[in-house]
Amino acid sequence: MPLEYLDSSALVKRYIPETGSPWVTHLCQTEPVALSIVGVPEIASALARRAREGALTAAQRDTLFRLFLADVRSYVVVALNKTIAQRAAALLLTAPAAPTPIRLRALDALHVATAQWTFARARRRSIATGAFVTADLALADAARWGGLATENPEAHP
């Protein structure tokens, strides 16, 4: 059972039916899952956006967020630290612009750096590591550039 890292574009699929939702739900129920503390407000943002757009009622949004908060207890939630912040900054400063540009924003860099840090720490403890799971194609490119195996939940309809 390898430790998987999920960003919010993947994890939100556990709470809102989308392409890849059954796969993410199964993954979260069968594998250990890590996420950055940044994912907590990102999930809230995703739910709030869907409520603003009319896809969810305010009551549904709140229920889903409470469900997420209850599930957080079963995830490895990684706090930001100086090492992760410095690694994210280094990624931002060294991401190639050409010939194949890596589109990397600050929060995305924090996700990549958090996954790198989390997986390295797990391997030092002889814990198997899996993939950086994201539905964001640009972030997947950045994660692969950062040396991480990636998985797109949307490839598992």
Tokens 């009319």 correspond to 54
* C-alpha span between 33 and 13 (Å, rounded): 14
- 157 residues of the chain, pLDDT tens digit each: 899 999 999 999 999 999 999 999 999 999 999 999 999 999 999 999 999 999 999 999 999 999 999 999 999 999 999 999 999 999 999 999 878 899 899 999 999 999 999 999 999 999 999 999 999 999 999 999 999 999 999 999 7
* C-alpha span between 103 and 70 (Å, rounded): 33
Domain tally, the chain: 1
* C-alpha span between 67 and 97 (Å, rounded): 40
**CATH value at residue 130:** 3.40.50.1010
Neighbours of 47 (CB within 10 A): 22
**Which domain range does residue 89 map to?**
3-155
